[in-house]
Structure 1
Protein backbone atom coordinates (compact mmCIF):
# COMPACT_ATOMS: atom_id res chain seq x y z
CA UNK A 1 0.00 0.00 0.00
CA UNK A 2 3.06 2.23 0.09
CA UNK A 3 2.42 3.60 3.58
CA UNK A 4 6.08 4.00 4.52
CA UNK A 5 5.78 7.79 4.54
CA UNK A 6 3.12 7.45 7.28
CA UNK A 7 5.21 5.26 9.60
CA UNK A 8 4.19 5.93 13.19
CA UNK A 9 1.81 8.78 12.30
CA UNK A 10 -1.67 7.21 12.11
CA UNK A 11 -4.01 7.27 15.13
CA UNK A 12 -6.86 5.25 13.63
CA UNK A 13 -7.49 3.08 10.58
CA UNK A 14 -10.76 1.61 9.34
CA UNK A 15 -10.80 -1.71 7.48
CA UNK A 16 -14.45 -2.12 6.55
CA UNK A 17 -15.60 -5.13 4.54
CA UNK A 18 -12.37 -5.44 2.60
CA UNK A 19 -9.67 -7.55 4.26
CA UNK A 20 -11.28 -10.79 3.04
CA UNK A 21 -10.84 -9.51 -0.54
CA UNK A 22 -7.06 -9.11 -0.22
CA UNK A 23 -4.64 -11.76 -1.47
CA UNK A 24 -2.51 -11.34 1.69
CA UNK A 25 -4.29 -10.09 4.79
CA UNK A 26 -1.12 -10.57 6.83
CA UNK A 27 0.72 -8.07 4.63
CA UNK A 28 -2.14 -5.58 5.04
CA UNK A 29 -2.01 -5.82 8.83
CA UNK A 30 1.78 -5.52 8.87
CA UNK A 31 1.67 -2.33 6.78
CA UNK A 32 -1.14 -0.80 8.83
CA UNK A 33 0.62 -1.68 12.09
CA UNK A 34 3.75 0.07 10.85
CA UNK A 35 1.76 3.21 10.02
CA UNK A 36 0.06 3.36 13.43
CA UNK A 37 1.31 5.46 16.30
CA UNK A 38 2.02 3.51 19.51
CA UNK A 39 -1.40 2.68 20.94
CA UNK A 40 -3.10 3.40 17.59
CA UNK A 41 -6.22 1.45 16.63
CA UNK A 42 -7.74 -0.35 13.68
CA UNK A 43 -11.45 -1.07 13.47
CA UNK A 44 -11.81 -4.30 11.51
CA UNK A 45 -15.30 -5.08 10.22
CA UNK A 46 -16.27 -7.90 7.88
CA UNK A 47 -19.67 -8.95 6.51
CA UNK A 48 -21.02 -11.74 8.72
CA UNK A 49 -22.86 -13.40 5.84
CA UNK A 50 -19.72 -13.71 3.77
CA UNK A 51 -16.91 -14.04 6.32
CA UNK A 52 -17.59 -17.00 8.59
CA UNK A 53 -16.14 -17.20 12.13
CA UNK A 54 -13.10 -19.35 11.20
CA UNK A 55 -12.10 -16.90 8.46
CA UNK A 56 -12.51 -13.94 10.82
CA UNK A 57 -10.37 -15.70 13.43
CA UNK A 58 -7.69 -16.22 10.77
CA UNK A 59 -7.75 -12.47 10.10
CA UNK A 60 -7.41 -11.77 13.82
CA UNK A 61 -4.42 -14.13 13.99
CA UNK A 62 -2.78 -12.27 11.08
CA UNK A 63 -3.40 -9.00 12.93
CA UNK A 64 -1.86 -10.43 16.11
CA UNK A 65 1.26 -11.50 14.19
CA UNK A 66 1.58 -7.86 13.08
CA UNK A 67 1.39 -6.66 16.69
CA UNK A 68 -2.30 -5.74 16.77
CA UNK A 69 -4.34 -7.19 19.60
CA UNK A 70 -8.12 -7.10 20.08
CA UNK A 71 -9.22 -4.55 22.65
CA UNK A 72 -12.93 -4.92 22.01
CA UNK A 73 -15.60 -6.51 19.89
CA UNK A 74 -18.04 -3.73 18.99
CA UNK A 75 -21.55 -4.74 17.97
CA UNK A 76 -22.12 -3.81 14.34
CA UNK A 77 -25.25 -5.11 12.65
CA UNK A 78 -24.62 -7.94 10.17
CA UNK A 79 -20.90 -7.69 10.80
CA UNK A 80 -18.05 -9.38 12.59
CA UNK A 81 -15.96 -6.65 14.14
CA UNK A 82 -12.94 -6.12 16.35
CA UNK A 83 -11.12 -3.06 17.60
CA UNK A 84 -7.42 -3.80 17.30
CA UNK A 85 -4.82 -1.85 19.23
CA UNK A 86 -1.11 -1.55 18.52
CA UNK A 87 0.91 -3.28 21.23
CA UNK A 88 3.32 -1.14 23.19
Structure 2
Protein backbone atom coordinates (compact mmCIF):
# COMPACT_ATOMS: atom_id res chain seq x y z
CA UNK A 1 0.00 0.00 0.00
CA UNK A 2 1.22 3.50 -0.83
CA UNK A 3 1.51 5.83 2.17
CA UNK A 4 -0.13 9.23 1.61
CA UNK A 5 0.19 9.64 -2.13
CA UNK A 6 -2.35 10.92 -4.61
CA UNK A 7 -4.06 8.53 -6.95
CA UNK A 8 -2.53 8.53 -10.40
CA UNK A 9 -4.66 9.14 -13.49
CA UNK A 10 -4.34 5.42 -14.26
CA UNK A 11 -5.63 4.53 -10.77
CA UNK A 12 -8.52 6.96 -11.21
CA UNK A 13 -9.42 5.25 -14.50
CA UNK A 14 -9.35 1.85 -12.77
CA UNK A 15 -11.42 3.27 -9.91
CA UNK A 16 -13.94 4.56 -12.42
CA UNK A 17 -14.25 1.25 -14.27
CA UNK A 18 -14.42 -0.85 -11.09
CA UNK A 19 -16.88 1.53 -9.46
CA UNK A 20 -19.12 1.64 -12.53
CA UNK A 21 -19.12 -2.16 -12.70
CA UNK A 22 -20.59 -2.30 -9.20
CA UNK A 23 -17.53 -3.24 -7.14
CA UNK A 24 -17.46 -2.21 -3.48
CA UNK A 25 -14.92 -0.01 -1.70
CA UNK A 26 -12.98 -2.89 -0.16
CA UNK A 27 -12.74 -4.76 -3.44
CA UNK A 28 -11.60 -1.65 -5.34
CA UNK A 29 -9.06 -0.80 -2.63
CA UNK A 30 -7.65 -4.31 -2.69
CA UNK A 31 -7.41 -4.27 -6.49
CA UNK A 32 -5.57 -0.89 -6.47
CA UNK A 33 -3.40 -1.75 -3.47
CA UNK A 34 -4.78 1.21 -1.51
CA UNK A 35 -6.57 1.56 1.81
CA UNK A 36 -10.35 1.65 1.54
CA UNK A 37 -10.40 5.08 3.25
CA UNK A 38 -8.34 6.43 0.32
CA UNK A 39 -10.94 5.17 -2.13
CA UNK A 40 -13.80 6.44 0.00
CA UNK A 41 -12.19 9.89 0.34
CA UNK A 42 -11.51 10.07 -3.38
CA UNK A 43 -15.14 9.33 -4.18
CA UNK A 44 -16.48 11.79 -1.59
CA UNK A 45 -14.09 14.59 -2.54
CA UNK A 46 -14.82 14.19 -6.23
CA UNK A 47 -18.52 13.42 -6.27
CA UNK A 48 -19.28 15.64 -9.27
CA UNK A 49 -21.44 13.18 -11.04
CA UNK A 50 -22.86 9.75 -10.62
CA UNK A 51 -21.36 7.46 -11.79
CA UNK A 52 -17.77 8.37 -10.87
CA UNK A 53 -15.85 9.81 -13.81
CA UNK A 54 -12.09 10.30 -13.83
CA UNK A 55 -11.77 13.18 -16.33
CA UNK A 56 -13.37 15.99 -14.29
CA UNK A 57 -11.70 14.58 -11.18
CA UNK A 58 -8.21 14.98 -12.63
CA UNK A 59 -8.97 18.57 -13.66
CA UNK A 60 -10.37 19.42 -10.24
CA UNK A 61 -7.33 17.93 -8.51
CA UNK A 62 -5.08 20.14 -10.64
CA UNK A 63 -7.19 23.23 -9.85
CA UNK A 64 -7.17 22.50 -6.10
CA UNK A 65 -3.41 22.08 -6.17
CA UNK A 66 -2.97 25.34 -8.05
CA UNK A 67 -5.30 27.21 -5.69
CA UNK A 68 -3.37 26.26 -2.57
CA UNK A 69 -0.06 27.64 -3.80
CA UNK A 70 0.99 31.03 -2.41
CA UNK A 71 0.29 33.97 -4.66
CA UNK A 72 3.32 35.46 -6.35
CA UNK A 73 4.19 38.92 -5.00
CA UNK A 74 4.55 40.65 -8.33
CA UNK A 75 1.27 39.39 -9.74
CA UNK A 76 -0.26 42.43 -8.05
CA UNK A 77 -0.10 45.20 -10.68
CA UNK A 78 0.34 47.99 -8.11
CA UNK A 79 3.26 46.23 -6.43
CA UNK A 80 4.87 45.52 -9.78
CA UNK A 81 4.50 49.16 -10.79
CA UNK A 82 6.10 50.36 -7.52
CA UNK A 83 9.04 47.98 -7.95
CA UNK A 84 9.58 49.06 -11.55
CA UNK A 85 9.44 52.73 -10.59
CA UNK A 86 11.88 52.15 -7.74
CA UNK A 87 14.48 50.43 -9.88
CA UNK A 88 14.03 52.38 -13.10
CA UNK A 89 13.87 55.87 -11.56
Q: Same fold (TM over 0.5)?
A: no
| Larger RCO, structure (CA 8 Å, separation 6 or more) | 1
Whose strand fraction is larger, Structure 1's or Structure 2's?
A: 1
Larger radius of gyration: 2
| TM-score, L = length of structure 1 | 0.29
| TM-score, L = length of structure 2 | 0.28
